[in-house]
Amino acid sequence: MSGRRTTGSLTVITGSMFAGKTEELIRRVRRALYARRTVQVFKHALDTRSESTEVRSHDGALHEAVAVTTGEEVVAGVEEPTDLVAIEEAQFFDAEIVTAVEELADGGYEVVVTGLDMDFRGEPFGPMPALLAVADEVVKLRAICARCGRDASRSQRLIDGEPAAASAPTILVGARESYEARCRQCHQV
C-alpha cells in the first residue's frame, strides 16, 4: 500500500435497519465499476442473511463479497490494483476495524463502510462511534417508521411481535421477521 499515489478517504454510511445502507453501498460500488475502477467488497461473516459470497440489500440488490471476521483479514485481502474497498456490517467487527480502515485510507484507498450506528436499545453499536469520528464523510440515512410513518432512526427488535427486553443479546442477525424501523417516539425497549 505504501506505493499508492492517490489520496485515500473513508466514508461511513450509517443509520437504522431498512434505511438503505446496503443499497447505497452497492450503488457506490456499481458507480465505481462503471468508471472502470477496481472494487473489492467485504462483509462480516456474522451476516448470514445472504450467501457468504455476497452482500444483499433488503430489496434484493446484490454484489459479490468476501466474508471476513477481522479488520486484519480485510487489509490482508485487499489486492494492489484495488481503488475502492467496501465493507458491510461494520458494527459486527471489533475495534480493530478502525485501525484497518484508517490504514487503507492512509494508503490511498477509497474506503466505504456501512453499519448500524445504534443497537436495538438505541445505544452506540460496537466500533461505529469511532468509525464515525475518523470518517472523512458520514452519510446518515433514515428509514420510515413502521408505526407512524415518520423518519425512523432506530431499529426496533421484536420477539413475538413485542419489543425485546433490554437484557436480550446485542447481536441477533435478522431482517423483517425480527426488526422494524422506528422513530424516536415509537421506539421501545
> Above 50 in pLDDT, residue 1?
no
The pLDDT, as a whole number, for residue 169 is: 75
Average pLDDT, the chain: 88
User: Full-prediction pTM beyond 0.85?
Assistant: yes
**In this predicted model, which residue has the larger pLDDT, 54 or 22?**
22
Q: Say if CB 29 and CB 155 are below 8 A apart.
A: no
**In this predicted model, which residue has the larger pLDDT, 56 or 84?**
84
> Above 80 in pLDDT, residue 60?
no
pLDDT in tens, 89-146: 999 999 999 999 999 999 999 999 999 999 999 999 999 999 999 999 999 999 999 9
User: Which CATH number is 9-142 given?
Assistant: 3.40.50.300
The residue ranges of every structural domain in the chain are 9-142
Query: Which is the catalytic residue, given 24, 89, 102, 180?
Result: 89
CB pairs under 8 A, 24+ apart, for 124-128? 125/91, 125/170, 126/90, 126/91, 126/92, 126/93, 126/94, 127/90, 127/91, 127/93, 127/94, 127/95, 127/97, 127/98, 128/12, 128/14, 128/90, 128/91
Known catalytic membership, residue 89: yes
